[in-house]
Amino acid sequence: MAPLAREKIRITSWWRSPTVNQNVGGVAASQHLWGVAVDFPLSSWGVASQLERNPYLEVIRESDHYHVELSDLVWPLVKNEISYHDLG
């Protein structure tokens, strides 16, 4: 896999507390709660298109941002290794 371009992006959301996640309309099982999901603006489409090639990530285009999280292949393995309380 080719390295990512050195484009700078602005991360608009990373780790969220349960309260913040609820206030922004996040899903109850959001990977943001574990700090393994990020959001960034649609203007960073070049980075998003590169990340889409990674089989361990899922890139979701929302109405005003991209959401990147671990794929269903990887997330259960990672979730078993970390605890929500480790991040609190």
Query: Does residue 73 surpass a pLDDT of 60?
Result: yes
Closest CA to 5 of 61, 60, 50: 50
Instruction: Spell out the residues 6+ positions from residue 67 whose beta carbon is closer than 8 angstroms to its own.
Output: 37, 38, 39, 59, 60
Taking the model in full, what pTM does it have? 0.82
pLDDT digits (tens, 9 = 90+) for 16-42: 999 999 999 999 999 999 999 999 999
Q: Kindly indicate the confidence band of residue 8, based on its pLDDT and cuts at 50, 70 and 90.
A: confident
